[in-house]
Amino acid sequence: MRRIPQVLKMLSQFQAVGQGLFTQGLVSAQGGNLSVKLGEHLVITHRGSPLGSIQEGDLVQTGITKNSRATPLASTELEVHRCIYKNTSALAVVHAHPPYAVALSFTEEEIVPCDVEGRTLLPRVPILSAEIEVKLEELADEIARLIGEHKVILIRGHGSFAVSQLLEEAYYYTVVLERSCRLRYLLKALDVDPGASPI
């Protein structure tokens, strides 16, 4: 498939978001993946690419409904990204492994942020639960359905998916989710009711 010139323009966006996720500890060395929709195609990070240091060769362009020669190189979570683009109006997807959010995914039914920024942007973040051996692509339909309603969701014991019209905004939602979860975690550690008024 011929490389669309926009792909090269997008490189700096992918680099900025990938670096942000990595430096804030929201993905490990080779965890997480990013994509942007381009008409009938999507541009997605290469499988196993280090988000902290994305290079041109780490971006894979393939079809949303059709495979190309590059498809096998794409992130292993390609099918989830495709399903989101087929079923929602999202133009960008960020998948990360934010540690506080993942920790709370084991103890909560959903995340309801108790800080102002989190509550304003993400009033409720559902947590999708599945057996540990279930592959993410088997959950693709359910992920797409929930994310169409909530912008950000958590997969229990795994990580987050965030969508927006812009990659930077989906990244921002991921950061806000993690900050809200860190606060909730700290309040729990202090045995403070997150719904209580501050003294």
What's the closest the beta carbon of residue 39 comes to Zn ion, in angstroms? 26
Instruction: Pick from 159, 161, 164, 180 the residue near Zn ion by CB under 5 A.
Output: 159
Of 97 and 182, the one with the shorter C-beta distance to Zn ion is 97
HEC assignment per residue over 134-188: CCHHHHHHHHHHHHHHHCEEEECCCEEEEEECCHHHHHHHHHHHHHHHHHHHHHH
Of 118 and 159, the one with the shorter C-beta distance to Zn ion is 159
Task: Scan residues 49-88 and list those touching Zn ion (CB under 5 A).
Answer: none
What's the closest the beta carbon of residue 17 comes to Zn ion, in angstroms? 16
What's the closest the beta carbon of residue 181 comes to Zn ion, in angstroms? 16
Q: Where are the beta strands (DSSP E) in the chain?
A: 33-38, 41-45, 59-63, 92-96, 110-111, 125-128, 152-155, 159-164
Range in contact with Zn ion (rule: CB under 5 A) among 17-25, 153-161, 164-172, 191-199? 153-161
The footprint of Zn ion (CB under 5 A) covers: 159
